[in-house]
Chains A and B, each alone.
Chain A
Amino acid sequence: DTGVSQDPRHKITKRGQNVTFRCDPISEHNRLYWYRQTLGQGPEFLTYFQNEAQLEKSRLLSDRFSAERPKGSFSTLEIQRTEQGDSAMYLCASSSDITNYGYTFGSGTRLTVV
């Protein structure tokens, strides 16, 4: 297993367009998290899955954002009608409920809305 994979690494989109990001976690990990990181800031929690169940969503996750994790494997994060304020790094992380500290992050998807 090569770790957490995120695709694409970079995405430039025009305002108003929809975008979708993918995250493939470590195969043994049943927990998956999405974070958003704006320039010069720490990551902010967006949402969390345990297996296929979405257990928590931040209020940062507006109605334009939706995340899925079908079959408890990979996850997608979709942003509809993108705005310039959505420009950020979107980080995915995974962990196992066997350990309390083994969070592994992907390299992120950098979104630029023009």
Chain B
Amino acid sequence: AQKITQTQPGMFVQEKEAVTLDCTYDTSDQSYGLFWYKQPSSGEMIFLIYQGSYDEQNATEGRYSLNFQKARKSANLVISASQLGDSAMYFCAMRGPPIKAAGNKLTFGGGTRVLVKP
């Protein structure tokens, strides 16, 4: 079974500063994928970044980067130069090997609420 743990229920960050959101995972699969989603108050889940378990380099997408430490089973999200619009819930998620039918679903953590202060 897969499990995602996000230990930070909420965080304040000053505008223009960087923030790191923690995510640890547990799986017995060798092939898996890790995701971060943003959920503003409107409710939609917005895809931010993806890291495959065999990817050697950490994923980056604009101001988002994923600090992937496979041995520690962690996949922390770093948001650089925070903006007021970054205030939202952030969810870490994983999926298993796509060759299994069960590998296609996403398992989510409990989320971290980020509030960016001006």
Binding site for B on A (CB under 8 A): 31, 33, 35, 40-45, 48, 50, 55-56, 89, 91, 93, 95, 97, 100-101, 103-108, 110
Closest to A102 in B: B47
CB pair A43 B101 closer than 8 Å: no
Among B12-20, B62-70, B72-80, B107-115, the stretch that binds chain A is B107-115
Q: Which residues of B contact A56 (CB under 8 A)?
A: 101-102, 105
CB pair A95 B43 closer than 8 Å: no
What's the minimum C-beta distance from B77 to chain A, rounded to whole angstroms? 14
> How many angstroms from the CA of A45 to the CA of B96 in the assembled complex?
13
**For the complex of A and B, 9 pairs with smallest distance between CB atoms:** A42-B108, A105-B45, A101-B50, A55-B101, A107-B44, A45-B105, A108-B43, A43-B108, A100-B98
CB pair A107 B106 closer than 8 Å: no
Which of A41, A44, A101, A107 meets B33, CB within 8 Å? A101
B58 within 8 A of A: no
- Determine the interface band of chain B, counting residues with CB < 8 A from chain A: 20 to 34
B8 within 8 A of A: no
CB pair B102 A110 closer than 8 Å: no
CB pair B106 A45 closer than 8 Å: yes
B27 within 8 A of A: no
Q: Which residues of A contact B91 (CB under 8 A)?
A: 42-43
CB pair B110 A42 closer than 8 Å: yes
> How many angstroms from the CA of A110 to the CA of B42 in the assembled complex?
11
What's the minimum C-beta distance from A76 to chain B, rounded to whole angstroms? 19
Contact code string B17-45 (vs A, CB < 8 Å = 1, else 0): 00000000000000001010100001111
CB pair B45 A91 closer than 8 Å: yes
What's the minimum C-beta distance from B11 to chain A, rounded to whole angstroms? 15
> How many angstroms from the CA of A55 to the CA of B6 in the assembled complex?
28
